[in-house]
Amino acid sequence: MRLLKKSIRTVGGFALLGIGVIGGFIPVLQGWVFILAGLALLAVDYHWARRIKQWALAKFQRRRKPDPDRPPQ
């Protein structure tokens, strides 16, 4: 049962990553949403995906914080 769950997460995660990459070239799809969802699935079982997901979320959070040195527009 555990192997089945891991297999489903792996296939689903790579499928979402593939859709995300395709979505990067098609303006209608938001590719980054699918990439983050795929990384979230893969991060359960794979360390490399966990590191990439943490990096992407940290970068996203830094962009959302206002810079105190920058004047408001």
Residues in the chain: 73
Residue 26 has pLDDT above 80, yes or no: yes
What's residue 68's pLDDT?
65
Calpha distance 39→48 (Å, rounded): 9
Predicted TM-score (pTM) of the model is 0.74
Structure tokens at 24: 């990067």
Which domain, by its residues, includes 30?
2-63
What's residue 67's pLDDT?
60
Q: Residue 55 domain-assigned?
A: yes
How far from 35 is each of 7, 59, 63, 70, CA to CA, in Å? 18, 15, 18, 31
Q: Residue 7 domain-assigned?
A: yes
Q: Residue 12 domain-assigned?
A: yes
Q: How many domains does the chain have?
A: 1
